[in-house]
Every structure is written in structure tokens, then in C-alpha cells.
Structure 1
Amino acid sequence: MLPEFSILAVAIPAVVINGLGKGGLGGALGMIGVPLMSLVMSPLQAAAILLPLLLVMDGFAIWGWRHSVHWKTMRIIMVPGLMGVVLGVLIFYRLPDSAIRLMIGIIAVLFCLHHWLNHLIQGSLKHSSKPGFIAGIFWATVSGFTSFGLHAGGPPMSIYLLPQKLDKKVLAGTTAVFFGIINVAKLSAYGQMGQFTVDNLLLTLILLPFCPLSVRLGMKLVNTLPEKTFYQCLYLGLFITGMKLIMDVMV
């Protein structure tokens, strides 16, 4: 059966927002997808429907940014990210969704407030310190863990990557490759949980045409927006998403 209008009304914006994020406007945007679709279905079903679409988006994003990847950073974050996925498989669904969302929301909001406060005190981003090797391992592990169940690995990864002050295209390429590998690693676990049902795959197929369009739009916006504006949008989007997650749990 075709999905109801209410499902499409939230699923299409969720896919488009994810596509914009995959196109380079920041992994924080991807956090919105599962919570938005959870308004009309279970979070687990929403995550399963989005996963194949995210893989398609990853393919377009990786191809588009294939010449803009910071491989030194990838060597730091890739293995810990995969370990985070393993942790998610082992323990994620033993935790309440509300606890995970609250944790992510608080981390995202505190990170943005810390960044803005430092910017006001120092008057310039040039003097802000960059997270080191240990921080990269920690946040990549957290990112893989939160990505497994909620596709919400963007904010933890942003906590490490944004202060690195990479070129916006390099940032987009690095996150595209990282989450592309992470999402491939999640496939078998979702299949074993029986989430790739006929109904779920049908909705995935209906939403598929929105993937390349939204990724392409995100890439175009990255090339159009000034770098300062680009980073301001990332931090603002991360803060808004964090506040939404907190309010969803508290209300």
C-alpha cells in the first residue's frame, strides 16, 4: 500500500534536509531526519527507511567531493567511528531513545555556547585551540555510536571537525567519506533486526528521487555561500537541532 499523506509530508522534508547536509551544509542537519519522521512512526522504523537513502546520498556526496578529503583526519577518526557503531549494535537499544536524544542535545548546545563565548572573549577564531588526537578518537567513537540508532553522528563529529577550521569543501569531503563508511557498516545490523520490510523499502523507493536533487542543492550552496557565513550557519543549525532534541525530551 502507498504511504499516507501525513507520512510523506514529514518524510520528504526529512530526506531533503539530510541531502542538504550530505551536500556539505553540515552533518548537524542530518540529526533532524529521524526525530521529524518519528512524529508519524517509530524511531527505529524511521532510521531503517532513511538508511538506504543516506547511502545513496553518501555516494553522490563522495563523488562530488572526492578531491577534497583530509586523509590525515580520516586516519584519526575512521577506526574509532566504526568501533562506535559496534558499541551501538551491542547496547544502543538497551537505552531509552529519550536518554540518547537528551545527551546529544545537551552536547550540541553546550558546544555552540562554548564556541560563541570563546569568540566573544577572544574577538577572533584565530586564537581558538584545535582538539587533538585523543579528542578525535573520543568524538569519532561517540559519532559512530549515535549514528547507529538515530543517524545523529553529525554533532559529535562537528565538535571535533569544526574547530579544525578546514576549508569548507575539505570539511564536506571528509564528512562525506566518514559517514559513507559508517552507514555501510550499519546495513547488516538493520537487516538482522528485520527492519527492511516491504513497506519500509517501498517508502524508501518513493523518496529516492529526492536524494540526488537535495545533495546537489547542498553542494551548490556550499560553493555559493561565503566561508564565514557557511560556518555561522553550521553552528546555528547545530544549536537549533540541539535545542529541539532537548525540548522533545522535556515536554
Structure 2
Amino acid sequence: MLELNFEFFAIAGPAVLFAGISKGGFGSGAAFAAAAILALVVEPGLALGVMLPLLMLIDVATLRPYWRKWSFPDAKVLILGGVPGVALGAALYSVADADLFRLLIGGISIAFVGWQIAQARGLIRPAKKRLPIWAGWVAGAVAGFTSFVSHAGGPPAAVYMLSQRLSKTQFQATTVLLFWVINIVKFLPYAFLGLFTLETLKANVVLAPFALLGAWLGVKAHHLVPEWLFFRITYVLLVVTGSKLIWDALT
């Protein structure tokens, strides 16, 4: 059961603010850190249920600044792959227990950091040629699945979009459009699986201002804050929270 006490909001408030900044200005790749942080203090399913309406609110708040600045063909390819990925995530959730999702969220967190470090050191390089449409469908499916189980669909989608040579703002706008649609698709199965409760609704009402403030700050930071600084902070958070979740799942 979700206890709406001081400890919860002391952790959830900054986490949601951080998610808003990430989605509003930095391609949403790190927004899932909020779900990982919440999963430290509540059941993973409840953490996902709390975050989805807030992420949807951030999506709506960031649509206008990036309206029609996206690459619609690339977004369409990823969305077509993302829908079956969401369905696969829903099927897994219906048969899995909380510890498996702690393990998945923790593992995805650590893998995300490892991927980014490998890219920074030149061990993994963006594709020299634009990836074909079928690769976009695969990336979309992985994004839909990881988005469903941990709100972490950003990295697989980014792999495909980076190969398309999008500008910084076009990349950000395409990400906003993609996850606005994916999060809408996720809403019905989340509701069917019981991830929304009266307590998560109350939490959403209290945390909504943090989400909107974060989205506004993210849009401003998109042009002002160096990406390396934002993501280095993110990597530390993800390594700590991911390691703790994996430990909890295994012990």
C-alpha cells in the first residue's frame, strides 16, 4: 500500500521535478530515474502507477514548445514498433512479481549508464548510415517494452533517432511526440492491471506542480545547461538507485 507520508513526498518531489527537467529539455532519456528512485520506497508497480500520469502531464506541457519541430516519419516508425512492445510489457507484468520488476528497473538503470559511458569513450559509435525502417520498428518495440516496465524507453529510441542525423531540437521534439503517444497507449493496461489507486491519484495531485515546474525548467535548460553536466548527475543517481534495487530484488 502507498503511504503518503513525509518520507514519500521528500523523495518523490525532487524525483518528479528531475523527470520534468529531463523530459522537457534532454530527450527524456533520464526521466525514468524518477521511477527507479520511487521504487526504493514503494512497490515497483505503485512507483510506475504514480509516475505515468505525471509523465503524461509533462508530455502535454512540453508539446507546445516543440510543436511540429519533430521528424514525423521517424516518430511514426518508432510508434508502430512501440505499441506491440507495450503489449509485451503488459503480458509480462501480469505474470511477474515485484522483485522481478525491481531487478528489471535496476538492471536497465545500470545498463543505461554503461551504454552512455561506452559511447563517450568511443567503444560504441552511432551508425554511420541511417538505420533502415525495420530497425526503427525493433527500436520502437524495445522502447515500448522498457517504457512499460520502467518508463525507460528513451535509450533504445535514441539509438535509432541518432542514426537519422536529427538536429538537437528535432531530436528532442521527436522524443516528446513519441512518448506522448506511448504513454497514452500505456494508460489503459496500467489501469487494467490495477496500478492506479486512490492513493496514487492523491500523490499525483500533490506532485503535479513539481512535474510542471520541471517541464518548464527543462525547456529553458535545453538551451542553457550543458548536457554533460545534467547527465553526469543522472548517472550517479542511476548507479546508486539501480544497485540498491538489484540488491533488494536478490536478497
* AA partner of residue 112 (structure 1): Q
Counterpart Cα distance in 2 of 1:137 and 1:248: 33
CA contact (8 A) 2:23 2:29 kept: no
Across the aligned residues of Structure 1 and Structure 2, the Cα RMSD in angstroms comes to 2.7
Pair 1:197–1:241, CA change in 2 (3 A): same
Q: Flag the structure with higher helix content.
A: 1
Note the residue ranges of structure 1 that are not aligned, 5 or more in a row.
none
Shift of 1:99: 3.9
Q: Is the 8 A contact 2:40 2:244 kept in 1?
A: no
User: Counterparts in 2 of 1:81-92, with a 5 A limit?
Assistant: 81-92=82-93
**How far does the alpha carbon of each residue in 1:103-136 deviate from its partner, in whole angstroms, 9 at most, with x for none?**
42454244224322328x9xxx8x9625612332
Tell me, in whole angstroms, the C-alpha distance in 2 between the residues paired with 1:98 and 1:3: 21
The residue aligned with 1:94 is: 95
SS at 2:32 equivalent: helix
Secondary structure at the aligned position of 1:30 is classed as coil
- Deviation, 1:2, is 8.4
Question: CA offset at residue 142 of structure 1?
Answer: 0.8
For 1:36 and 1:217, how far apart are their aligned partners in 2?
20
Residue 140 of structure 1 and its aligned partner are, at CA, apart by 1.4
**Cα separation, partners in 2 of 1:12 and 1:234, compared to 1, 3 Å:** closer
Counterpart residue number, 2:216? 216
Using the TM superposition, give the Cα deviation of residue 45 of structure 1 relative to its aligned residue in structure 2, in angstroms.
Answer: 0.6
CA distance 1:238–1:153, change in 2 (3 Å): farther
User: Normalising by the residue count of structure 1, what TM-score does the alignment of the two structures yield?
Assistant: 0.85
| Runs of 4+ more than 3 Å apart | 92-95, 162-165, 232-246
Contact 1:139-1:159 at 8 Å conserved across structures:
yes
- 1:159–1:84: structure 2 CA closer, same or farther, 3 Å change rule? same
- CA–CA distance in structure 2, aligned partners of residues 164 and 47 of structure 1: 31
What is the TM-score normalised by the length of structure 2? 0.85
Corresponding letter in the other structure for 1:83: P
Deviation string, structure 1 residues 194-220 (Cα, Å, up to 9, x no partner): 232211101111111122211011000
Compared CA separation, residues 106 and 19, structure 1 to 2 (3 A): closer
Does the 8 A contact of 1:161 with 1:171 survive in 2?
yes
Distance apart, 1:90 and its partner CA:
1.2
Residues 12-51 of structure 1 aligned to structure 2 (within 5 Å): 12-51=13-52
Larger CA deviation: 156-165 vs 23-32: 156-165
Distance in 1 (CA, whole Å) between partners of 2:57 and 2:163 is 28
**Partner AA of 2:89 in structure 1:** G
Per-residue deviation, 1:239: 4.6
In the alignment of these two chains, the number of paired residues is: 242
Contact 1:92 1:145 in 2 (8 A): no
> 1: distance between equivalents of 2:106 and 2:3?
33
Structure 2: stretches of 5+ with no match in the other structure: none
Name the CA shift for 1:238/1:202 in 2 (closer, same or farther; >3 Å). Answer: closer
